[in-house]
Amino acid sequence: MVASEFQRFGSAAVGGALAAILAVSLGACDGGSGGTVATVRDSAGVTVVEAPARLLDRLPEWSVDTVMVVGGSGAPPEQAFGQIQGVHRYDDGTIAVLDITSRNVRFFGPDGELQTTAGSPGSGPGQFEQPARLRRIHGDSLVVTDRTRWRLSIIGPERTIDRSVRMRGLPPSGLLHGVLDDGTMVFGAPVPGGRDASATPVVQRTFIRFYGLDGAPRDSLGPFPDVPTYRIAPNAFAVPVFSARTDFATDLDGVWVGTGMEPELIRIRRDGSLDRIVRWARPPRAVTQEHRRITLDDALARASDDNERQQVRAMHERTIFASRLPAYRRIFAGPSGRVWVEGFNPWLESRPTEWMLLGPDGEPEGTIRLPYRFRLWEVDEDYLSGMIPDASGAQRAVVLRVVRDPDPAG
């Protein structure tokens, strides 16, 4: 169970709390039928939420409506995007879109018309060199992280870059996952775990790094387990296909952490103490020959000639696969505290992605299917902001409205 993984990793506060709980009650959801309601209990000061399989099978199905689409093939130049790395929706319906190709943030009104642009390519004030993430902070302000020299740019309510500051001590692999309500930025920072193994995988590690909006480091939690790595040549390493990856999501005053290895999440308060453990009953799924076949078929479909297809087949013979599929792919959280858990879909054809929604207390509330290839960038109480490419591959900024099941009991 993942609780034992988190016991070995994480901060002393997190590990100590989990050690106490393990001795008492981590019998865990074992995939049995159970009841139709989640059990909630306190164990050593930590809330433990367990959702049985019968409850998950009876969850109401929510849906989405498309309320805004900007970009795509045939769109005017101001709506053309190279690579969208963040979409934020304001309360008035305006959206901000970070395009790392044009290296700017563009603001579009509810009618889809361009209102203004913040930033431009370059290294000077108000410019971006390698923008990586767009996240909202307090009020109507946004922050953009720039990986070149790790610079932060604050976009104020007037939708101009108010100031830029330099961050200190963050590794190049760090990614901004969210901002707490006091302005604390939460980064995931993977670090190598050593590369001496060959047949035996080396588990990589990920830390949580906390930074202030002044660019100064505040605290750190970890390490947490991440993907295994194999040596496949003297200077070449590979991550097994279908490996689980550690992910983080922030609400207003805490961080949700999941390794993806088991159907379980933990929530850590901003002071580093463990708040709750949430797990749901889903049996593990083994990686099958069918899963291996679809990865080969997908690669062969993208090969341009027989020579390239022969190379694809040879590489596939040497490909390392995980023994089982991840329990989930990614997690998101919004200001309301609701957590979105993306199920892991190993099939590469055009199928919608299935998500489970957890309430602020960790209890499952419903399920929802999002469009195929929809890249979620931000969740709010009633809206989802993200990107969907069109049939030709041109990227589009999209806002979806969440429609709740009017009769959860039905």
Give start and end residues of each alpha helix (H) in 23-104.
53-57
Contacts of 22 (CB under 8 A, 6+ apart): 3, 4, 7
Kindly tell me if the per-residue pLDDT of 53 is higher than 70.
yes
Give the whole-angstrom CA distance, residue 364 versus residue 376.
Answer: 20
Give the whole-angstrom CA distance, residue 147 versus residue 213.
Answer: 15
Rg from Cα positions in the chain: 22
Kindly tell me if the per-residue pLDDT of 1 is higher than 80.
no
Which of the residue ranges 212-216, 230-234, 351-355 would you say has the lowest mean pLDDT? 230-234
C-alpha pair distances (Å), 101 with each of 70, 88, 121 = 16, 18, 9
Give start and end residues of each alpha helix (H) in 126-221.
none
Give residue 264's pLDDT: 96
- pLDDT: is 330 or 225 the higher one? 330
Confidence of residue 63 (pLDDT cuts 50, 70, 90): very high
SS3 call for 166: strand
Q: Which two tokens stand for residue 144?
A: 């953009």
**Which pLDDT tens digit goes with each residue over 177-195?**
999 999 999 999 887 655 4
Give the whole-angstrom CA distance, residue 114 versus residue 119.
Answer: 14
Kindly tell me if the per-residue pLDDT of 229 is higher than 60.
yes
**Which pLDDT tens digit goes with each residue over 237-247?**
788 999 999 99
Which of the residue ranges 232-236, 294-298, 362-366 would you say has the lowest mean pLDDT? 232-236
- From the CB of residue 194, how many other CB atoms can be counted at a distance below 10 Å? 10
- pLDDT: is 44 or 231 the higher one? 44
**Which pLDDT tens digit goes with each residue over 110-125?**
999 999 999 999 988 8
Which of 346, 224, 351 minimizes the C-alpha distance to 289? 346
Give the whole-angstrom CA distance, residue 228 versus residue 234.
Answer: 17
- What does the pLDDT average to over 363-378? 94
Kindly tell me if the per-residue pLDDT of 36 is higher than 90.
no
Kindly tell me if the per-residue pLDDT of 369 is higher than 50.
yes
- What does the pLDDT average to over 295-309? 92
Q: Which two tokens stand for residue 269?
A: 């308060």
The answer to whether 277 and 46 have CB atoms below 8 angstroms apart is yes
Confidence of residue 27 (pLDDT cuts 50, 70, 90): very low
- What does the pLDDT average to over 306-315? 94
Give the whole-angstrom CA distance, residue 98 versus residue 116.
Answer: 13
The answer to whether 351 and 345 have CB atoms below 8 angstroms apart is yes
**Which pLDDT tens digit goes with each residue over 16-26?**
444 444 343 34
- What does the pLDDT average to over 383-391? 96
Kindly tell me if the per-residue pLDDT of 304 is higher than 60.
yes
**Which pLDDT tens digit goes with each residue over 248-279?**
999 999 999 999 999 999 999 988 899 999 99
Kindly tell me if the per-residue pLDDT of 360 is higher than 80.
yes
> Residue ranges of the domains in the chain?
61-280+327-403, 288-321
Give residue 170's pLDDT: 84
Average pLDDT, the chain: 86
Confidence of residue 33 (pLDDT cuts 50, 70, 90): low
Percent of the chain with pLDDT over 90: 66
Give residue 159's pLDDT: 95
Percent of the chain with pLDDT over 70: 86
Give residue 7's pLDDT: 39
Give residue 10's pLDDT: 44
CATH class for the region spanning 61-280+327-403? mainly beta
